[in-house]
Structure 1
Amino acid sequence: MSLNFKTVAASKITISQLMLPSHSNFNGKIHGGYILSLMDQIAFACASKYSGSYCVTASVDTVDFLGPIEIGELVTLKASVNYVGKTSMVIGIRVDSENIQSGEIKHCNSSYFTMVAKDKFGNSVAVPGLVLSGLEERRRFYNCLKKIAIKKERDQHEETFDYSSREVLKELEKYNVQIL
């Protein structure tokens, strides 16, 4: 474990970008893939700033698009480290859009990116410990612990679950599928 510690505040990054027609999909709304690309960029910047190392994306938690983003809106992404392990960090990201004419701000989505710190040879390296200042930072860290435990439990279940059992086949009859 790393002997040095950094605050959550030391990891915070905010970026804003005007949404242009070139960022839109065929429906005239901002393409979700473009927003995901911005989210990956801010996750990288946040994790690299915090760790002092090059970082790679290991996983992305659920991304729910809560509403469309329009051409001409200002999109703001905010990121901070919510959890650190030995070599990994969970970066919390919030995306808001602002209609710059009316001033209306909409929360568009939130997500969690797991980033891993690497050295110049591609080996994982230790990251600083995290100083939790206040209830909100403790809540975010603890929620990450719960998500990690649920993921481990799901992965263990996946290794032992029998998808050919009679119960599974009976359950699948309730859905719009055909079993061959």
Structure 2
Amino acid sequence: MNAKTVDETQIVMAQQMMPHDANPYGNVHGGVIVKLIDTTGGVVALRHAGRNVVTASIDRLDFLQPAFVGDILILKASLNLVGSSSMEVGCRVEAENPITGQVRHAASAYLTYVALDADGRPTAVPPLTLQGPEQTRRNAQAAQRRGLRLAERRNEAAMDRAGRPGQ
């Protein structure tokens, strides 16, 4: 399995927000943004794995600025970390006012995807080749997040075995 670079699989997607994307306040509904983030991140993971992928988790999602009807959402996603079958993708969402040209950083997220074989089981993905200090920094930060996710899962499993109240 040949290694791939971040640049080979990164993607930029754009979509104009319409009235049906709005919440009762007139802002773009957070769920619409989440779906676009997941779709964009999934394309990156699919391009890297070369096979079907599923979303395993959204590690972090921060809404930073509102997006409005008429804005063009620009989603930029790339790989941060690759494991044996899983991949962490970072996604940045920018909201551009097409009239004024003003661009706002609307949201950021980290998502984990798992590649699946024909039977729907996790399967190996190509390794990731890092190029430059920025990709190396992102990879190191992603490895720390992965360590925290795994520790949290172990802690939750131990709590489940001990019987959490209300469970």
Taking only the aligned residue pairs, the percentage that are identical comes to 38
Question: Are 1:115 and 2:113 an aligned pair?
Answer: yes
Determine which of 82, 85, 89 is the counterpart of 2:83.
85
- In the TM superposition, what whole-angstrom CA distance separates every residue of 1:75-117 from its partner, at most 9, and x where no partner exists? 0001111100000100110000001111110001111110001
With over 3 angstroms needed to count, the CA separation of the structure-2 counterparts of 1:25 and 1:51, relative to structure 1, is same
Distance (whole Å) between structure 1 residues aligned to residue 59 and residue 42 of structure 2 = 15
Partner of 1:44: 42
Q: CA deviation at 1:62?
A: 1.6
Distance (whole Å) between structure 2 residues aligned to residue 128 and residue 155 of structure 1 = 25
Determine which of 56, 62, 66 is the counterpart of 2:54.
56
- In the TM superposition, what whole-angstrom CA distance separates every residue of 1:17-73 from its partner, at most 9, and x where no partner exists? 011001001111100000000011111111001110110000001211112101101
With structure 1 as the length reference, what TM-score do the two structures score? 0.85
| Length, aligned pairs only | 162
Distance (whole Å) between structure 2 residues aligned to residue 83 and residue 63 of structure 1 = 17
* Alignment of structure 1 residues 20-169 onto 2, 5 Å: 20-158=18-156, 159=158
Moved over 6 A (4+): 161-164
Unpaired segments ≥5 residues, structure 1: 165-180
Distance (whole Å) between structure 2 residues aligned to residue 155 and residue 126 of structure 1 = 22
Question: Are 1:13 and 2:11 an aligned pair?
Answer: yes
Distance (whole Å) between structure 2 residues aligned to residue 84 and residue 33 of structure 1 = 27
With structure 2 as the length reference, what TM-score do the two structures score? 0.91
- The higher radius of gyration belongs to 1
With over 3 angstroms needed to count, the CA separation of the structure-2 counterparts of 1:65 and 1:137, relative to structure 1, is same
| Residue pair 2:60, 2:111 contacting (<8 A) in 1 also | no
- In the TM superposition, what whole-angstrom CA distance separates every residue of 1:118-167 from its partner, at most 9, and x where no partner exists? 12210211111000000010011110111111222333344269899xxx
> What is the Cα-based RMSD across aligned positions, in Å?
1.7
